[in-house]
Amino acid sequence: MTNEEIKQKLIDKFGELVYHFEEPYGMLTFETETNNNLKVMTFLNDDADLEFTYLNDLTAVHYPENKGKELAVVYMLQNIKKSIRIRLKVFTDIEKPDVFTASNLFSTANWLEREAYDFFGVNFVGHPNLIRIMNVDEMDYHPLRKEYALEEQTRTDKDDDMFGR
């Protein structure tokens, strides 16, 4: 099955609800609206020809310059039988970062969504246990958002020679 065949099946099923098709490094990549993520993934999972039954990875990305679509949730799906991978992206507003959970469709989404919540603040609606997974519960921010400085440049309590600078 080729990327073009997968793309055509998606367009036939969803029309303009799937868009921005690209093939970076040969991997079919496309987008849909946040409220369609489960519909698209369910189709990709259930269709007898497509069979994208494995969620390889899920992450979030912060694009502070994209007003109203600052957070992206990126899904990496795989057809194990045919060894084909595709990438699906959905964008959401950082003020209300609600995305439907895929944990009922893919069991691997459970921990991956918790990680995206922990580090980026994405609220996976319907998740069975959306709590922090790597940071302390008392943390009141999401550290991988680009709104936080990587390092305090005025610190005098560290020796740059120790860090290879």
Would you give the end-to-end CA distance of the chain in angstroms?
50
Q: What is the pLDDT of residue 105?
A: 96
Structure tokens given for 30 = 């496309």
Q: What is the pLDDT of residue 141?
A: 87
Q: What is the pLDDT of residue 53?
A: 97
Q: What is the pLDDT of residue 164?
A: 56
Coil, strand, or helix at residue 152?
coil
Q: What is the pLDDT of residue 162?
A: 63
Name, in order, each residue with C-beta under 8 angstroms of 30's C-beta and a sequence gap of 6 or more.
7, 10, 18, 19, 20, 21, 22, 86, 87, 88, 89
Name, in order, each residue with C-beta under 8 angstroms of 148's C-beta and a sequence gap of 6 or more.
141
Structure tokens given for 97 = 């970062």
**pTM passes above 0.85:** yes
pLDDT tens-digit profile, the chain (165 residues): 999 999 999 999 999 999 999 999 999 999 999 999 999 999 999 999 999 999 999 999 999 999 999 999 999 999 999 999 999 999 999 999 999 999 999 999 999 999 999 999 999 999 999 999 999 989 888 989 988 766 666 666 666 666 655
CB atoms within 10 A of CB 154: 5
Structure tokens given for 73 = 């949730």
| Overall size of the chain counted in residues | 165
Q: What is the pLDDT of residue 147?
A: 82
Which domains are seen in the chain, by residue range? 3-146 (3.30.460.80)
Q: Strand 18-22 vs strand 28-32: parallel, antiparallel, or unpaired?
A: antiparallel
- d(C-alpha 115, C-alpha 113), whole Å: 5
